[in-house]
Structures are given as structure tokens and as C-alpha cells.
Amino acid sequence: MTSTSQLGSLLAAEEDKLLACVHCGLCLEACPTYVATGDENDSPRGRIYLMRAVEEGRLERTSRTFERHLNRCLGCRACEMACPAGVQYGQLLEAGRAELFRTKERRGWTNRTLRFVLRHVWLHPKRLRMAFGFARILRDMGIVRLLIKSRVPRMISGRAEFALALLESSSSDKLTKSVGAQQSVKATRREAHDVRQSKALLFTGCVTEGLFARVNRATRRVLEVNGCKVNAPEEQVCCGALHAHAGDLEGARHLARRNIVAFDNDEEIAIVTNAGGCGAMFLSYEHLLADDPEFSERARKFSARVRDIGQQLETTGVRASSALVDEKLTTYDTSCHLLYGQRAADASLKLMLSVPDIRFVPLVGSEVCCGGAGVYNLLETELSSRVLDEKLNHVEETKAETIATGNPGCHMQIGAGLLLKEKKVRVCHPVELLDESYERAGFYEKPK
Ligand code: SF4
Ligand code: SF4
């Protein structure tokens, strides 16, 4: 009992949020894991009940039930939007996972591997860059594709095969018509006078820069076409979302402080992201560092400057472009963190729809999580793939040949699912489509 009450303090700090739940159950149908399993413990209400039981000392925090059902939560936060009582479920989940993270006897080699990678790779930018560099070599030399085709990983485990498919799905294959890496914007003819419109600090993101550098280049060019001078501070690091979702709040705080310092130069300049997961994490810095006397106020100011690329383009306005060549039927999947965390999904879709004559078809269930959720797909592979199957069925119904989404995790999850089902659908970021239309409009030039 002593250990429970002592270690229950993280949840105790969130007691008001736990008590806010009135058990009405209106969130249940919005929860993908409850819909998939029908188990109350896999619902927001059930998980809040378990957290309260730990907080009140009625359940050991080491209990398998507590661990299992908290781990099975996607962290998509769809329940927050459905909840009439305004329960801040995302913050409760973080506190609950933090209880689990500091459980010394944490079970399973996957959890121990995750803990090792978060602490000894992800917190160290040089090591992380090396790891992504190695992954790119395997991907770009075609080794990953060959391994998947050999079916050997499938024989080892579905998880191994899916991990390779995630990496392969990030590649710029023949379905991807990205603008050339070396192309730059011709002298900007559009002048913006408001500092919020004329300058932006780009958050490049560890996964985006590591595996989707083309999306960062597209973001930069599109901002420049729209009169925005772009800088990307060199000292920036991972946003900390993986750490926070895994319950490693100390790791997340460490990264948050480093980012706040890296972007601290001008309080008026927007911090622009193209990854819904990173943007939502940035908005949570204020809560994450609320007890840090040196950083709490700086965190609040930092969060207030964060915009998704779609939101930033709403500020600058979008310069007219040209229709795409060989226009395919295109659909859009909403990243949960862009929708429920950043509340910026409409702006992201609007960005995509600004491409002239785009042949858009809506996706049923676009607002439902794809099952990616950071590394959830590698930890809870079976449940993740059930959630993904539902998404892929809806994608197939659209008959779209292109699907755009504003988060690298969703891109890889949907891309991996399509790859393993041998579906030829291009996955891209909305800003890549606008970038391609700008190239066609003649706004870019090749290096001399
Ligand atoms: S965050 Fe998503 S998966 Fe978790 S309880 Fe809420 S709706 Fe369900
Ligand atoms: S909708 Fe809100 S108050 Fe109702 S059960 Fe779900 S979390 Fe609790």
C-alpha cells in the first residue's frame, strides 16, 4: 500500500481531472479501441476508472489490468472532443503512463527496448541522426523492399514485417512526384509587411527530417512563395511526443526546454510545423513545464506561437497556383493530433483544396485514428492493425489514387498498410501537392 500511495502521486496531481468524469459514457463510441474490442476497460471511461482506482490506492499501479488497458489506448484524444464535461483525457493518460514508466519491473522486451531507445538514442540528436541515416541507407538501397518481398520477416513476426513496411512507406517511390530537392523559389514577388506573415521559424522534426526531408523542403518553398522568409534553428531537437506518450515525462521535459531555448529569439515569429503530432506536443509544453519556475512562462509563450503549415498559410493567404499534371482522385485523412490536439485539421485540408481543380473525394471516418499513434503499431500490433484495416477499407471505397495526411506517423501507418496489401495508392503531405502545383506554375528554378 505504501508503494501505491507514494507512486500514485502523479495521478494524484491530476485528481481534479479524474473527478471531472461523470461516467456518462458519451465518449465510448468515439473511442476506436472500445469500438474494436467492446471492452469497457478499453474505453476512456474505463481507463479513467482504472486511473482513479490507482490514485485512490484501490488498485496497485503494477497491476496487469492497469498496464494492459493504458497501453492499449491510442492517445488519439477523440474522447476529449466527445466529452461534454471537458475531461482533459490526454493529460490524464500522460500521468497514467508516467506511473507505468517508472515501474521498475516494467514487463516485456519491447517495453524495455522502447525505454532504452527513448533514453539512449532519441535524447541524443547525433545518435538519432545516425540511426535515421542508417535507416535511409537500408531503405534507399532497396534492402527493405527486398526483405519484405522475401516474406522472411513475416515468418519471424507480423511486427517485424510491419516495422519494415513503415520504413519502406516513407520512401520517395515512383508514385511520389516530389519537386526536385535542389529546386528553389525564384525571387519572391509577394511582399508581406506583418512580421507574423513575413517570417517563420520551421520546426523540421526528427522523423520528418530523418525520413521525409522532401516535406520540409516543400514546406519551406511554399512559405517562401507566400512571402515568408524561413529559418530553421539548428539547435532544435525532437518535440518529445514519443517520450510523453510513453510516460517518460522527464525525457519530454528535457527536450521541451531545449526547443524553447532554440526558438527563443523572437516572440513574434511563428513556429511552423508540418507534423500534427509535433504541433500537438508543442501545445502541451505549458502543462508539461507548469511546475518549472524558469520555463513555465517561456513554455506558455512558445506554445502560443505554434502553427501548423495550414494555419500559417491562412495567415499569409495562399498565392494562386496551377492545376496538377495527371491529376488523380485525391482524398484526405485527418491526423488525430492535428484535429483533436492542434484543432488545425480544417486549415490543413483547406491548404490542399487550394490546388486548382484538385479532384477531391472525402474519406469516411477521416476523423478516426489510423492506429499509428507513435510506436503503438509496434507495441500493440494486433489492435493497431484492426484499427488500420477499418481505415484502409474506407480508403478503398473512395477509389482515390492519392491520399494526403498532415503527420509522418499517419503517413507511414497508412502507407505500410497499403504496401502490405499491394495497393498502389500514393501517400503524401498536403503541402507536397501545393508545392507541385507551384512548380507547374513556374515559381521555382533549378540550380544554375
Ligand atoms: S485517446 Fe483515443 S483510444 Fe484512448 S481512450 Fe481516448 S478515444 Fe480511446
Ligand atoms: S464523456 Fe467525459 S464525462 Fe462522460 S464518461 Fe467520457 S470522459 Fe467521462
Pairing relationship of beta strands 184-185 and 444-445 according to DSSP bridges: antiparallel
39 belongs to a structural domain: yes
- Looking at 81, 101, 121, which one is the last position of a domain? 101
Picking from 76, 101, 126, the residue at the C-terminal end of a domain is: 101
pLDDT given for residue 13 in this prediction: 80
Residue 135 within any structural domain of the chain: no
Distance CA 337, CA 275 (A): 9
Residue 383 has pLDDT above 50, yes or no: yes
Mean pLDDT of 338-357: 94
Mean pLDDT for 331-338 is 96
Nearest CA to ligand 2 atom 3: 21
**Whole-number Å distance between alpha carbons of 69 and 104:** 19
Q: Is residue 242 part of a domain?
A: no
Ligand 2 neighbourhood includes 23 CB (under 6 angstroms): yes
Residue 232 lies in a domain: no
Q: For residue 334, what are the domain limits? A: 329-444
Look at residues 40, 70, 101 and tell me which one is the last residue of a structural domain.
101
Residue 231 falls inside a structural domain: no
Domains identified in the chain, total number: 2
CATH number at residue 29: 1.10.1060.10
123 Cα–ligand 1 center, Å: 27
Q: In what order do the strands lie in the sheet with 229-231?
A: 229-231, 199-202, 270-273, 306-308
What pLDDT band is residue 186 in, cutting at 50, 70 and 90?
A: confident
pLDDT score, position 192:
54
Q: Which of 442, 441, 365, 443 is nearest to 403 (CA)?
A: 365
93 lines ligand 2 (CB under 6 A): no
**Ligand 1 center–CA 340 separation, angstroms:** 11
Residue 4 pLDDT: 43
CA angle 360, 364, 365 (to 5 degrees): 125
In this predicted structure, what is the pLDDT of residue 188? 60
Better-predicted residue by pLDDT, 110 or 207? 207
Q: Report the pLDDT value the prediction gives residue 184, as an integer from 0 to 100.
A: 80
Give the pLDDT score at 190: 57
Assigned domain for 162 exists:
no
Tens digit of each residue's pLDDT (9 = 90 or more) over 320-334: 888 887 778 999 999
For residue 21, the ligand closest to its alpha carbon is: 2
Residue 317: other Cβ atoms inside 10 A: 12
Please indicate whether residue 19, judged by its CB atom, sits closer than 6 Å to ligand 2: no
Non-local (6+) Cβ contacts of 120 within 8 A are 127
**Residue 349 maps to a domain:** yes
- Report pLDDT for 267: 78
Report residue 320: phi and psi, to 5°.
-65, 145
Please tell me the distance from the alpha carbon of residue 225 to that of residue 185, in angstroms, as a whole number.
7
Residue 159 falls inside a structural domain: no
Q: What is the pLDDT of residue 2?
A: 36
Strand partners, 444: 185
7 band by pLDDT with thresholds 50, 70 and 90: very low
pLDDT computed for residue 156 by the predictor = 87
Rounded CA separation 336/407 (Å) = 9
